[in-house]
């Protein structure tokens, strides 16, 4: 099996929500820009947008599978 039962669902929910926010930032908000010489125009998070409380859902609906069968 690739995974087991959740020991602490609150921790696991936080991990899922955090991963979502990281993915949102990576694919929707962050824009890494390069100069023609290859150096970065915006090398620090202070110079590009990061997800904040206005970027994420107000209400999260995270759930877990009770059981599943593997091949």
Task: Give residue-wise pLDDT tens across range 32-64.
Answer: 789 999 998 887 777 667 788 888 888 989 988
Handedness of CA 10, 12, 16, 21 (dihedral sign): positive
Model confidence band, residue 19 (pLDDT cutoffs 50, 70, 90) = very high
Q: What is the pTM of this model?
A: 0.64
Q: By C-alpha distance, which of 28, 32, 1, 3 is closest to 15?
A: 3
Q: Are 8 and 2 in contact (CB under 8 A)?
A: no
- Mean pLDDT in residue range 16-27: 88
């Amino acid at each position: 099996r690739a995974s087991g039962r959740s020991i602490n669902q609150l921790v696991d929910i936080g991990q899922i929500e955090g991963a979502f926010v990281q993915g949102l930032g990576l694919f929707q908000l962050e824009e890494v820009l390069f100069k023609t010489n290859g150096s970065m125009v915006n090398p620090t998070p202070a110079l590009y947008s990061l997800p904040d409380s206005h970027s994420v859902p107000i209400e999260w609906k995270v759930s877990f599978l009770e059981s599943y069968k593997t091949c």
